[in-house]
Structure 1
Amino acid sequence: MTILEERSRRWQGRGGPELWDAAWDRVRELLGPILTDSWFSLEHDPETGINADGAAGLATALYLYAARSGVHPREVSCSQVRELFPDGEMAQLVARWESLLQGLGHDVHHPLDPVAARWLILRTDNSAPDIPGHPWVADEYDMDVLHRQGPGVIEGLSMILSPFMCETARKKGVSWWEDSTPASAAEG
């Protein structure tokens, strides 16, 4: 069993809606060939690292789109996920997704609901604290590649939908990203 398979089953939780479980199955299918065990070597926290947030963000997007559209998560395209994750609207994304989850009957603050439990982690703002003298505020930390900024759902899905990930998927023969290659990847 790969690290992605093992951890994603924990991230998924138990007792969620069938579409939630199907969304996670789809995430494992899409990311399995790409997020190999070596991707997880730099993660400090296996529950809230950027790979966890990327996988969970994708599962949540697939779940939201499928539930609202009456389709199976396997039928949700990359462009449809991008519709839920539009450029330039990141400040409103957490509130919008929270509203969509509530519209599907989830109490987004209830940790026993597996969808809400993962959402509570995804909505967490990972920005450095704004405390004078705090080590994370130092200029040299701002250049650190492990520095996280903003809600986990935004960071994670940004990584999953990035031009780099699109290219990596193409090289691994995973075509889901091809229906929505970002302009910067197509130009490069």
Structure 2
Amino acid sequence: MTLLLEVLREQRAQAVDGPARYEQAWDRMVELVSPIWHNEPMWGGSCLPDGGAALAVALYLIAEEHQVHPRDVRRDQIEALLVKSTETGMTLPATLPLWEGRLRALRHDLDAGTDPVSVIWRRLRRDNSPPETACDDTYFDSTHRWDYGFVEGLDVVLAPRYALAF
């Protein structure tokens, strides 16, 4: 059985060719989630790897913009990266261009196959929503992935059940 932390550490290994703060952000993410996911098995369709990767990218964004170490980034700064509906509390699609704008401002070419940040970003920006033609049962299937990978994953990582504090 493969553990989720093993998957995240494999993804972290791909960050070595990226900016220093990006590598540090992956280390910080693993440090933060290790206590809560130490024995979490990896299962097909899980959004948790996207959540861990999204947290690493978010830590990198804030740390790079503020020129601080990722361990100095606070949870409220990460939460501020998610545009939420005032009515439902759901993360809105406006979050995608916000993140992409910030990544571009840090001089990342989001289409570059050689930029480790852009490579992971292309996976995280994938929209997992069901097609408009999906039957009604799809919307009640709790195993179905929803929304962009980074939004869905980060919402889960920051959910109260994990009580991730930093």
TM-score by length of 2: 0.87
Partner of residue 73, structure 1: 70
Q: CA RMSD in A?
A: 1.7
Q: Secondary structure at the match of 2:126?
A: coil
Aligned pairs for 1:35-184 within 5 A: 35-40=37-42, 42-44=43-45, 49-88=46-85, 90-131=92-133, 137-166=134-163, 169=164, 175-176=165-166
Is the contact between residue 4 and residue 32 of structure 1 (CA under 8 Å) also seen in structure 2? no
Aligned residues: 158
Is the contact between residue 141 and residue 147 of structure 1 (CA under 8 Å) also seen in structure 2? yes
Q: CA deviation at 1:159?
A: 0.4
Q: Distance in 2 between matches of 1:6 and 1:78?
A: 24
Q: Return the match for 1:29 from 28, 31, 54.
A: 31
Letter in 2 for 1:78: R
Q: CA deviation at 1:39?
A: 4.4
Of the structure 1 ranges 78-87 and 147-156, higher mean CA displacement relative to structure 2 is found in 78-87
TM-score by length of 1: 0.77
Q: Distance in 1 between matches of 2:40 and 2:102?
A: 34
Of the structure 1 ranges 117-126 and 31-40, higher mean CA displacement relative to structure 2 is found in 31-40
Q: Distance in 2 between matches of 1:156 and 1:91?
A: 14
Partner of residue 17, structure 1: 19
Letter in 1 for 2:146: Q
Q: Distance in 2 between matches of 1:144 and 1:39?
A: 21
Q: Distance in 1 between matches of 2:117 and 2:143?
A: 27
Identity of paired residues, percent? 36
Q: Distance in 2 between matches of 1:11 and 1:85?
A: 23
**Larger helix proportion of the pair:** 1
Gaps of 5+ in 1: 132-136, 170-174, 177-188
Is the contact between residue 22 and residue 72 of structure 1 (CA under 8 Å) also seen in structure 2? yes
Gaps of 5+ in 2: 86-90
